[in-house]
Structure formats: structure tokens, C-alpha cells
């Protein structure tokens, strides 16, 4: 069996990288579950950090923040290019199937956000997927160029917002204050809802879901859509199928992981030096990690491709996790909501960052084990099977 191809034409390199991405995403999402929502962007929104918490935040910011969403977005774009390519080889039109897949992904995203957890990314992925599909036949060069330009335009907009900070209206400043530095009453109100029943939590969940899914959709199109185009290019060029040399992947992994971590670290230290001034956190300071996320994600990607080429145990461990990435992403939300919200165990705002890492590591172990066990008997994860059956408009075979 070739390294890059499994039964059902699975590409192992994509699955291994997808497994890494979905586990890495939890390291950031856990904060959104466990603490006030503002803490996700402003780590002192809930109060000053002690030395241990600050060190963990710096490490998390440099290693995880935005990096794994970037990987996930690139893989999403690569998947679109791969399915279109296969349909073309089979002389069938992939367009109808693609848009059905995106429609049902949007439905999953709406249910995920409005019913369970407001940090959903599936809705904006479906919107971006509908748009970037139109560019699937562009050359590798053009895909990279458009993807980088889209990200550059958004970065420019963020810089202009920072330059115009002093000229914002009081209403605009108040909105940013509420979002990133809530007062004691806002924090108390949020805790009351998060620790209440599912119904009592609904107003906050609906408001936040709408804000993320609709209010930030233009941001998402430029950021995530641009990265999806980069993923298409990387798939077409063979980079994402582990087709390049081991030396290529090794050098790029070492150089770009180190560079990305260094840039993110500088951004984190700048925020700390400003005492997390909102202008720095919201606008100018975010530029460091905005670009470092792409640089670091590229390093992670190359590192994983190297491990795949070597059939390393890490890659082999992550392949089943990636094959069930959709299920694992949604079950992370189910577990997180149950652990931290009032309709579950109610651990909301009761754990330190160090304690949260115990939760993250435990969920990682559980998801790795259950992915391996599940796929011994079944072709797909349960949510992958549901999405596939809805997209193909027929019940797909589940058991091996």
C-alpha cells in the first residue's frame, strides 16, 4: 500500500495533519468553554494572571493560537480541490455534490452554534467553501497570490483600525469594551447564564453565535477563505500529499516553527508590556500573531509531512483522529459544554489554566483511543457518516 493512499482513496498525509489540527484547536477552544468569552482575546478580562498562568498563556499563544485554525482551513481547501480532481478523473460533475455538502455543513453549523456552543466555525467554513470552490481551477501561483492578498487586505484593515483608534465614536469604543473588557456586572451576568439551565443560557448563546457567524462573516471570508485557497495550492503542488523530499520538509519545519513561535512571542510580550491595553490587544498587537499563525502552521504542516513519510508513530496515531475530525470537533463541543455549563457539571470559571491543560490532555487521549477503536469496525465517524449520507442523498454503508 502506498504511503499517501489508503482504502477508499484516503490520503494519509491529510488525515494525519487533520488529526493534529482538530486536537490543537481544543487547546484554544477550552478557554472559550471554561472562562468568560472575552478571555479568549484578552487574557486579563477576568482579572490579572499570576506568574504560572501568564507563562502558560504565553506558551499557548505562541504554540496554538490561530495556528490550528489555519491548518484546518488549509485542509478544508485541500479537500475541496481533491474532491473536484477525483470527480474530474471520473468524468462526473462535482458541483452539485459540493454545494450539497456545503449546505449540510451550514445546517450542522447552525445547530452546533445555536443549540450547543457559540464558538462554531462550521457555518463560516460552509460559506467560504461555497465561494472558494469557484476558484478551484486556478493555477497554484494564482491560488497562492489571491490567498495571500486576501489575508493582506484584512491585515491592512486591522492596522487602519488601530491607527484610527482615537477617532472612534463613544459607541464604537463601548462596543469594544463590552466585547473585550467587560465590567464586573457583565461578568456576573455571563456567569449566571453559563451556570444556569440550557434555556437560561440561550440568550447569550444565540447572541454570540449570531455575532460570530454573521457579524464576522466578511472577516472569515478574507481570513479563512484566503487560507483555503492556499490549501488548494499546497494540495495541487504535492506539498500536502508528502510528495516533496524529506530534506525539504525538515528544513521548512525547523525554520518556520522557530520563526513563527518567535514572532508570536514578541507579540505576546508587547501585549504584556502594554498591560493588555485594548488598542494593542485589539488592533496593532494582533498583527504579530496574525502572520505568525500562517508561518507556524506552515512549519507544523511540513513537520507532519516528514513524520508521514517516515511512517512515524505520531503520524500513525493521528491518522484515525483525522479521519474522524468532524466527529471529534463536535464531540469536543459536547464534552466541553457538559463539563463547564450549568446543565452539565458546571465547572465554568472554576479552573486555572494549568488545570485546564489536564482536561485538554484527557480529552486528547480519549479521542485518540476512541478514533482507533471506532474505525476498526466502521468506515466513518458517526457525524462523517451523517454528513456523507445527506450529501449523497442516500444511506452510506457504515460498517466495514
DSSP letters along 299-331, please? Answer: HHHHHHHHHHHTT-HHHHHHHHHHHTHHHHHHH
Angle at CA 393, nearest 5°, toward 391 and 395?
A: 100
Give the residue from 91, 79, 126, 76 showing the smallest Cα distance to 106.
Answer: 126
Contacts (Cβ under 8 Å, ≥6 apart) of 169? none
Give the residue from 342, 44, 363, 69 showing the smallest Cα distance to 205.
Answer: 342
Q: What is the pLDDT along the chain (400 residues), one digit of tens a residue?
A: 233 333 345 689 999 999 999 999 999 999 999 999 989 888 998 888 999 999 999 999 999 999 999 999 999 999 999 988 877 676 567 888 899 999 999 999 999 999 999 999 999 999 999 999 999 999 999 999 999 999 999 988 888 877 777 777 777 777 777 777 888 898 999 999 999 999 999 999 999 999 888 888 888 899 999 999 999 999 999 999 999 999 999 999 999 999 999 999 999 999 999 888 887 877 777 889 999 999 999 999 999 999 999 999 999 999 999 999 999 999 999 999 999 999 999 999 999 999 999 999 999 999 999 999 999 999 999 999 999 999 989 999 988 8
Contacts (Cβ under 8 Å, ≥6 apart) of 388? 380, 396
In Å, how far are 84, 157, 225, 336, 348 from 234, measured between CA atoms? 15, 26, 14, 33, 40
Contacts (Cβ under 8 Å, ≥6 apart) of 63? 27, 261, 296
Check: pTM over 0.75? Answer yes or no: yes
Tally: H helices and E strands in the chain: 18, 0
* Residue 125 C-beta-side C-alpha neighbours within 13 Å: 27
Give the residue from 189, 178, 185, 163 showing the smallest Cα distance to 211.
Answer: 178
Three-class SS of residue 349? coil
Separation between Cα atoms, residue 160 and residue 172, nearest integer Å: 15
Separation between Cα atoms, residue 400 and residue 398, nearest integer Å: 7
Instruction: For the chain, report the end-to-end CA distance as a whole number of angstroms.
Output: 18
Amino acid at each position: 500500500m502506498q504511503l499517501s493512499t489508503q482504502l477508499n482513496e484516503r490520503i494519509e498525509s491529510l488525515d494525519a495533519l487533520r488529526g493534529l489540527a482538530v486536537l490543537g484547536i481544543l487547546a484554544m477552544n477550552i478557554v472559550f468553554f471554561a472562562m468568560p468569552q472575552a478571555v479568549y482575546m484578552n487574557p486579563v478580562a477576568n482579572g490579572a494572571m499570576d506568574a504560572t498562568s501568564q507563562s502558560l498563556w504565553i506558551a499557548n499563544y505562541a504554540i496554538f493560537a490561530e495556528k490550528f485554525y489555519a491548518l484546518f482551513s488549509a485542509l478544508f481547501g485541500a479537500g475541496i480541490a481533491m474532491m473536484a480532481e477525483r470527480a474530474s478523473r471520473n468524468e462526473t460533475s462535482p458541483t452539485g455534490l459540493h454545494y450539497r455538502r456545503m449546505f449540510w455543513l451550514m445546517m450542522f453549523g447552525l445547530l452546533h452554534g445555536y443549540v450547543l456552543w457559540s464558538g462554531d466555525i462550521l457555518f463560516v467554513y460552509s460559506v467560504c467553501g461555497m465561494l472558494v470552490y469557484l476558484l478551484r481551477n486556478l493555477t497554484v501561483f494564482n491560488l497562492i497570490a489571491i490567498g495571500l492578498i486576501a489575508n493582506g487586505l484584512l491585515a491592512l484593515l486591522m492596522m487602519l483600525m488601530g491607527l484610527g483608534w482615537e477617532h472612534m465614536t463613544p459607541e464604537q469604543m463601548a462596543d469594544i469594551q463590552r466585547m473585550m473588557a467587560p465590567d464586573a456586572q457583565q461578568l456576573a451576568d455571563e456567569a449566571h447564564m453559563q451556570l444556569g439551565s440550557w434555556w437560561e443560557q440561550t440568550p447569550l448563546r444565540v447572541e454570540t453565535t449570531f455575532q460570530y457567524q454573521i457579524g464576522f462573516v466578511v472577516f472569515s471570508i478574507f481570513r479563512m477563505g484566503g487560507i483555503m485557497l492556499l490549501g488548494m495550492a499546497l494540495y495541487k503542488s504535492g506539498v500536502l500529499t508528502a510528495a516533496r523530499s524529506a530534506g525539504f520538509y525538515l528544513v521548512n519545519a525547523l525554520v518556520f516553527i522557530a520563526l513563527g513561535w518567535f514572532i508570536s512571542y514578541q507579540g505576546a510580550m508587547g501585549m504584556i508590556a502594554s498591560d493588555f491595553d485594548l488598542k494593542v490587544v485589539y488592533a496593532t498587537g494582533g498583527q504579530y500573531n496574525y502572520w505568525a499563525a500562517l508561518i507556524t502552521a506552515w512549519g507544523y504542516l511540513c513537520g507532519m509531512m516528514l513524520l508521514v513519510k517516515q511512517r512515524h508513530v505520531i503520524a500513525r496515531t493521528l491518522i484515525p483522529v483525522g479521519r474522524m475530525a468532524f466527529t471529534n470537533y463536535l464531540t469536543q463541543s459536547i464534552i466541553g459544554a457538559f463539563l463547564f455549563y450549568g446543565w452539565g457539571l458546571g465547572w465554568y470559571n472554576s479552573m486555572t489554566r494549568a488545570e485546564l491543560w489536564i482536561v485538554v490532555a484527557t480529552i486528547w487521549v480519549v479521542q485518540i483511543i476512541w478514533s482507533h477503536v471506532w474505525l476498526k469496525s466502521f468506515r466513518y465517524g458517526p457525524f462523517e457518516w451523517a454528513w456523507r449520507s445527506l450529501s449523497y442523498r442516500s444511506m452510506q454503508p457504515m460498517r466495514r
